[in-house]
Chain A
Amino acid sequence: MTRSVRIENVSFGYGGTPVLDDVSLDVGAGEFFAFLGPSGSGKTTLLRLIAGFGEPASGRILIGDTDVTDLPPWKRNVGMVFQSYALWPHMTVAKNVAFGLERRKLPRADIARKVESALALVGLAGYADRRPAQLSGGQQQRVALARTLAIEPDVLLLDEPLSNLDAKLRVEMRAELRRLQRKLGLTAIYVTHDQEEANAIADRIAVLDGGKIQQVGTPVALYDHPANRFVATFLGTANLVEGRIAGDRFESDGWSLPGIAGGDGATCIAIRPQDIIPGTEGAVRATVTEKEFLGGHTRYRMQAGRHSLIVDVPHRGDAGGLPLGSDVALSIDPKRVTPLR
């Protein structure tokens, strides 16, 4: 049965070093959720706390309506796929998959049937009698997944499950993961440091840094409306322009942008590179200092007063684009500007 996950004011530390600081979060039932952050942000620790590896110093964790904070890992019915897969080398594939089912004291026939269907689900029917060492990395990953899915967990936890695969396989696998999760209607939490992966797979993302949740939202919302500088730069590329907002107007060295809503008192704005449009007219003047042709678009680096900006211009046909050293006027849609405090 699929369940929601609720994390309430959880703090955790190793020795004296705080790793998680007052984290609260809700993951809805059936949702595909991602923890995204750089290494050391506490994302894996948070995942492990949900699985029961480690006890929070304070706060509580609920799965569905049950407080699991004090439950040991083996009583939580939370499935976890490990980064290293952690397949047991002394057991066959079938034994690995059957392990969790045996713990649940299912009749033997049921176990056999469930093992078979779990392996079929991940496309490994016919591999039951192999040993993990005889499988490729992708196959091992599928076995790890099958082993976890077989127990029909309330929540599926995935700890950077694709990081050991090559790029092509990674893209295939993440689509498959997503398909499986939808098909089974599972609540899934996925830890990654790769924003593209998180965007591609997750319904919602929690961005972590320094043991704190920076922002929670859909990939689009996070991209369009980052809550702070960290989120703005960690998800995609953003130009951060320091300055001052008074009323609805942003003022900085050579800048004066009107029409920015809700930013009173903010000290900075974030603008995505494709939201700056170079032309003959605009609020800001700039000089082209560098350019890179990237296929779908050309990325320019421009100097506007004391601000260095990245500007992406879609490539449409055979035009040469802006020459280096040319002066341009930049027009910016105030609705696409995010004020940050």
Chain B
Amino acid sequence: MSAPALASTSRSARSSVGRKLAAYNASPTQALALLVIALLLIAFLVVPIVRVIVVAFTGPAGGFSLVHFGDFFRTGLLRESFWNSVYVGVMTVVVASLIAVPLATLLSRFQFRGAALIHTLGVLPLVMPPFVGAIAMQLIYGRNGTINLILGDHFGFRIPFMEGLNGVIFVEALHYFPFILLNLSASLANIDTSMEESAQNLGASGFTLFSRIVFPLALPGYVAGAALVFVKVFDDLATPLLLNVNAMLAPQAYLKITSVGIADPMGYVISVIMICAALGAMAISTLALRHIDFATTQRGGGGLGRRSLGRFGNTVAAVFVVLILLLVLSPHIGIFLLSIGTVWSFAELPDGYTLAHYATVFSEAQGLIGNTVLYCGLAGLIDVIIGAVLAYLVLRTRLPGRKLVEQVALAAVAVPGLVLGIGLLRTYYDVHLPFTDVPFATFWLMLVIAYAVRRLPYALTAATAALRQLHLSLEEAAENLGAGKLSTLSRIVVPLVTGGLFAGFVTSFATAAVELSATLLLVASERDAPISYGIYVYMQSAAGRGPGAALGVIAVVTVAIATYCAYRLSERERDRRSRGGLAV
């Protein structure tokens, strides 16, 4: 075959592919990007999970069967667990909203001096190191915790903060409200000022203005956050276990899967049902927003004007913020006291104070901190990049299969860490790194991948919410000026959705920093271990409680510093933008 003939065939082939892609409103690069993301998800999520949960679909005599799902619905305890999980999920969204919505409003609509503080402290509840957080919560709110001991001594009654389903709701709301806070404030920041001003002009103010105009406009962010809260609460097992509430789905699945020597497939059946429920919640939230064009940022940002609060307003706001922060940060205060306390037992405060635990930690566990920053930073970065690209492809192209890829990515939120851990080990233990005999599964990068996969949904929902608000014309303008799809994405879209991406990064980073279930399975040597592993190891004995808490404090501080830096970065970006586009 001659060269020109070859060239012409390939050109005609390309142009026919190009025509097809044009029909999908996509460039070849975008199609390629979707393909790469799909392959990554298949490799590190779908295949590993399927290899584990296949037992849920295997009958007692082998072969495909749905008999176990029948058993699920025939079992009273599991039905009860299902409804309890739904109830707790919904109520947590309500309570978390009561905390997050005022905070987000204060942050994005008023000049409030503590804004950076709220931003940083507002993320900390997510950074609740397992075990330490549990002990700290019990020491403060438990039936013989600080508050109840004080109440009991002075007033003769106790409040069962930590009992039953309502206890779960209380703890979960304190833990997960940042999802709503982060997403909602990103959304609020993207609303054009004139939307609000026109309502004021027509006579709306205060609560009416907020509930009728501002909040509905920020709905994409709120719904994204609320859906995440619901799904996380639905899947969270640490809190129900801590409060000893077993009749919920997540603890039921966990207890089944992690019981040594039990071959009951029910644990995996529950996992499948939880994944479906999570997808259902996400789908409902998308459905709720389907007809609404929320692209309110026409001038490219600036956001709502921040009004001054006045002295009275400032005082009220400060009191409210301090109260909420005290409430949500009490476990962290507890961890801190634990880390500097000698013995703390059935008392309002520790018996004495010491720095010995920090000395222990610094002499034994320095590498852990660097590992955590490296792994979680990388995981957060991967999430933000994949999340932004995928959200873009889903909203702006009509490539076939993009919705499916999105659904798969979202499903990761409901995958128990242990299931993913086992799946990754099973799939990649025999794959060795080139030129070594180190199994890929226990190489430290696999931890990064496990973190990134399980937290991709946070970044994806955040990016989707931000993009939904971004008017298409801003991109079209760039394309019109000769920017390709890729440079439009990187030069126009990404800078404009920085706020949303920031929210995604922080959530991924912070929650990865304290992830334990997959960590425990994938860490192969102490040298490669992150802080969460160190905390686990210390918290296995009475003597390790102090050092474990000290490590917990270090984890919290690390995340706080990283969050603060990321916040400053994104604020600078926002300032730069709004100065450019300010119309007087």
Contact = CB atoms under 8 A, between A and B. Distances in A.
Classify A-B as touching or not with yes or no (CB < 8 A): yes
Interface of A: 14, 19, 40, 42, 44-45, 51-53, 72-75, 77-80, 82-84, 86, 88-91, 99-100, 103-104, 131, 133, 144, 147-148, 151
13 contacts: A45-B584, A51-B197, A53-B197, A72-B205, A74-B202, A74-B204, A74-B205, A74-B209, A86-B198, A89-B295, A90-B292, A91-B216, A100-B202
Contacts of A51: 197, 201
Contacts of A14: 584
Nearest to A79: B201
A75 B206 CA distance: 12
A91 B584 CA distance: 28
B199 interface: yes
Contact of B584 (A44, A52, A88): A44
A11 to B, nearest CB: 15
A140 to B, nearest CB: 11
Contacts of B201: 51-52, 73-74, 78-80, 148
Contacts of B294: 89-90
B203 A90 contact: no
Given A44-B584, A82-B197, 15 more contacts: A14-B584, A19-B584, A72-B200, A74-B202, A74-B204, A74-B209, A80-B198, A82-B198, A84-B194, A88-B213, A90-B216, A90-B219, A99-B212, A131-B293, A148-B201
Contacts of A89: 217, 292-296
B311 to A, nearest CB: 16
B192 interface: yes
Contact of B202 (A42, A44, A72, A147): A147
A90 B291 CA distance: 9
B490 interface: no
B299 interface: yes
Nearest to B289: A90
Contacts of A131: 291-293
B195 A77 contact: no
A3 to B, nearest CB: 16
B487 interface: no
B202 A88 contact: no
Interface in B531-584: 583-584
Contacts, number: 87
Q: Which of B192, B198, B204 has the most CB of A within 10 A?
A: B198
Contact of B203 (A44, A82, A104): A104
Contacts of A74: 200-205, 209
Nearest to A77: B203
A151 B199 CA distance: 12
Contacts of A148: 201-202
A131 B198 CA distance: 17
B195 A86 contact: yes
Nearest to A44: B584
A89 B295 CA distance: 8
A23 to B, nearest CB: 15
Contacts of B208: 103
A53 B205 CA distance: 13
A87 to B, nearest CB: 8
Q: Which of B197, B201, B295 has the most CB of A within 10 A?
A: B201
Nearest to A19: B584
Given A14-B584, A45-B584, A88-B216, A99 B292 contact: no
B194 A52 contact: no
Nearest to B298: A84
B293 A99 contact: no
Nearest to A45: B584
Nearest to B583: A44
Contacts of B205: 72-74
Q: Which of B203, B204, B208, B584 has the most CB of A within 10 A?
A: B203
A19 B293 CA distance: 36
Contacts of B584: 14, 19, 40, 42, 44-45
Contacts of A75: 203
A80 to B, nearest CB: 4
Nearest to B212: A99
A60 to B, nearest CB: 20
Interface in B203-225: 203-205, 208-209, 212-213, 216-217, 219
Contacts of A151: 202-203
A89 B292 CA distance: 7
Contacts of A100: 202-204
A148 B216 CA distance: 21
B88 to A, nearest CB: 30
A284 B29 CA distance: 70
Nearest to B199: A99
Contacts of A147: 198, 202
Nearest to A78: B201
Contacts of B199: 88, 99
Contacts of B296: 89
A278 B464 CA distance: 68
Contacts of B291: 131
Nearest to B295: A89
B312 to A, nearest CB: 15
